Amino acid sequence: MRRSLNSLAARAIIVAGLLFPAGEVRGEDNSWIQREDDPWIHIQVVETGADAANVQVHLPLSMVRLALDMAPDEAILDGHVRIENSDISVAEMRRLWTELKAAGEADFVTVEKAKETVRIGRRGQRLLIRVTDSTAGKEHVAVDVPLAIVDVLLAGDGERLNVAGAIATLGAYRGEVLNVQDGQDRVRIWVDEKSGSE
Amino acid sequence: MIPLKLAALAAAPFALAGSVALSGPTTLVVDVREGGAEGMHLVIPVPLLVARAAAALVSEDKARIPVAELQRAQPGARALLAELRRLPDVELVRVQQQRGGGLVRIAKRGDALEVRVRQPSENVKVRAKLPLAVVEELLRRAEDGDLDPGDVVAAFGKAPHGTFVEVEDGEDRVKIRLW
């Protein structure tokens, strides 16, 4: 989990870095012009440990969309990101997701190991993943994501995730999008209309 | 008549200063201050015209910087800059070390992107301002797919007057200003 947390932190920084890449064009009729009430995406990573750093990124979604448009085609093609070196293919994720959604509001998967229990389930409109330390009886990993975002992310076909679609969906969303807690480490992504960290 | 001529002479520096202020900076000033009792203080003014002339002397083959990617990104980059201009003053990125007090901040302040880096354990502070007008001018000059050092110097002619880089390393300080 530590690896995935670091990977999320890295992705948060990449989103900020995407502000100034090279890439494609958007026409004169730019519908993504920043308005007073345009949503902002906020990413917060809190780490613990000797070299720990706290990362905060605050960006208007309009800028994230523009940055996605500008990314080189090898990285993002038509708003879709290819996932490589993953244990599970996007096609498999898509099939699993369809089955999980059909199961309705429930714990979809429970994996009990010697030292921990993993539960994946749905509560209302959110997908929850919980990893509990069986010996201490404490939750040490908690992931919480709106279903709509996963739906759009997995929309389409092939081995690509629809990141542009997910960003567009976020525009209509307010509140917490992702919350990963791993012990004292934490990654939060949320959307609101506040600029910066105000 | 003489008083009128004197008035005109007296007014000349102000008129010149006004035209400089309106047309952008003309001089890059590098200010180096060494720490310690015997530390030197160097102030090196470099007129931008001289810097451009020097840049023009560099062999064209060696001087051209290919920026095909930048050329491809022009419209998107312009749209991003327009978005940045519309933003209020705001902190966009903050990375803070838990121990040691290291800090990196990227913020939008006025018409510039401001980057601040602080590393107390090494007694280092960096503060840099990247005026959006400079980036816009660089983009404009990169429209044909490459840039040369003269383009870079000319782009800084679009910057507002003032300090745009400050580095403190222990007791040593370097400031780069445009006037």
Tens digits of residue pLDDT in A4-34: 444 444 444 444 343 333 323 333 333 334 4
Judge: A34–B87 Cβ closer than 8 Å, yes or no. yes
Task: Supply the mean pLDDT for chain B.
Answer: 83
Q: If pLDDT is split at 50, 70 and 90, which confidence band does A86 have?
A: low
Judge: B75–A48 Cβ closer than 8 Å, yes or no. no
What's the confidence (pLDDT) of residue B175?
Answer: 96
What's the confidence (pLDDT) of residue A133?
Answer: 83
Q: Coil, helix or strand for A17?
A: helix
Q: Which of A78, A81, A74, A93 is nearest to A15 (CA)?
A: A81
Question: Is the CB of B117 inside 8 Å of chain A's CB atoms?
Answer: no
Q: If pLDDT is split at 50, 70 and 90, which confidence band does A96 have?
A: confident
Question: Is the CB of A88 inside 8 Å of chain B's CB atoms?
Answer: no
Summarize pLDDT for A126-160 with one digit per residue, the tens.
Answer: 888 888 887 776 777 888 888 888 899 898 777 88
Torsion of CA B125, B126, B127, B131, to 10 degrees: 180
Q: B106 to chain A: nearest residue by CA?
A: A57
Whether the predicted pLDDT of B143 surpasses 90: no
pTM score? 0.74
Q: If pLDDT is split at 50, 70 and 90, which confidence band does A182 have?
A: confident
CA distance A170 to chain B (A): 19
Instruction: Say how far apart CA A150 and CA A161 lie, in whole Å.
Output: 10
Instruction: Say how far apart CA A93 and CA A76 lie, in whole Å.
Output: 19
The rounded percent of chain B whose pLDDT value lies above 70 is: 84
Is there a contact between A167 and A149 (Cβ–Cβ < 8 Å)? no
* Buried-exposed string B108-131: b where 16+ CB fall within 10 A, e elsewhere: beeebbbbbbbbeeeeebbbbbeb
Summarize pLDDT for A99-135 with one digit per residue, the tens.
Answer: 888 877 878 778 888 888 888 888 888 888 888 887 7
What's the confidence (pLDDT) of residue B151?
Answer: 86
Whether the predicted pLDDT of B1 surpasses 60: no
Q: If pLDDT is split at 50, 70 and 90, which confidence band does A48 have?
A: confident
Kindly report the backbone phi and psi dihedral angles of residue B130, in degrees, each rounded to the nearest multiple of 5, phi listed first: -110, 100
Helical spans, DSSP H, in chain B: 2-23, 48-57, 60-63, 68-72, 74-86, 132-141, 149-156
In terms of pLDDT, which residue wins out, A62 or B19? A62
Judge: B72–A66 Cβ closer than 8 Å, yes or no. no
What's the confidence (pLDDT) of residue A28?
Answer: 39
Six token digits for residue B144: 């044909």
Q: Which amino acid is at B75?
A: P
Is there a contact between A77 and A97 (Cβ–Cβ < 8 Å)? no
Summarize pLDDT for B68-106 with one digit per residue, the tens.
Answer: 777 777 888 899 999 999 999 999 999 999 888 899 999
Task: Supply the mean pLDDT for chain A.
Answer: 76
CA distance B69 to chain A (A): 5
First to last CA, chain B: 35
What's the confidence (pLDDT) of residue B134?
Answer: 92
Summarize pLDDT for B22-44 with one digit per residue, the tens.
Answer: 467 889 999 999 988 888 999 99
What's the confidence (pLDDT) of residue B23?
Answer: 65
- Angle at the Cα of A167 from the Cα atoms of A163 and A173, rounded to 5 degrees: 140
Judge: B73–A19 Cβ closer than 8 Å, yes or no. no
Whether the predicted pLDDT of B5 surpasses 70: no
Question: Is the CB of A62 inside 8 Å of chain B's CB atoms?
Answer: yes
Question: Is the CB of A52 inside 8 Å of chain B's CB atoms?
Answer: yes
Whether the predicted pLDDT of B144 surpasses 70: yes
What is the rounded average pLDDT of the residues B125-145? 90
Q: B79 to chain A: nearest residue by CA?
A: A66
Six token digits for residue B11: 């007014």
What's the confidence (pLDDT) of residue A173?
Answer: 86
Judge: B83–A66 Cβ closer than 8 Å, yes or no. yes
Helix count and strand count (H, E) for chain A: 5, 11
Q: B75 to chain A: nearest residue by CA?
A: A25
CA distances from B154 to A9, B18, B56 (A): 38, 20, 11
Q: H or E segment at A99?
A: helix A90-102
Taking CB atoms and an 8 Å cut-off, how many pairs form between chains A and B?
Answer: 90
Residues of B in contact with A27 (CB under 8 A): 75
DSSP state at residue A197: T
Residues of B in contact with A47 (CB under 8 A): 98
Give the nearest partner residue to B79 out of A30, A60, A197, using CB atoms: A30
What is the rounded average pLDDT of the residues A41-56? 91
What is the rounded average pLDDT of the residues A44-54? 89
Report the residue count for chain B. Answer: 179
Q: A59 to chain B: nearest residue by CA?
A: B92
In terms of pLDDT, which residue wins out, A136 or B174? B174
Residues of A in contact with B106 (CB under 8 A): 16
Q: Domain span at residue B125?
A: 4-178
Six token digits for residue B165: 């880089």
In terms of pLDDT, which residue wins out, B174 or A178? B174
From the CB of residue B158, how many other CB atoms can be counted at a distance below 10 Å?
A: 18
Whether the predicted pLDDT of A2 surpasses 60: no
What's the confidence (pLDDT) of residue A4?
Answer: 46
> What is the total count of domains within chain B?
1
Give the nearest partner residue to A60 out of B83, B98, B102, using CB atoms: B83
Q: A43 to chain B: nearest residue by CA?
A: B93
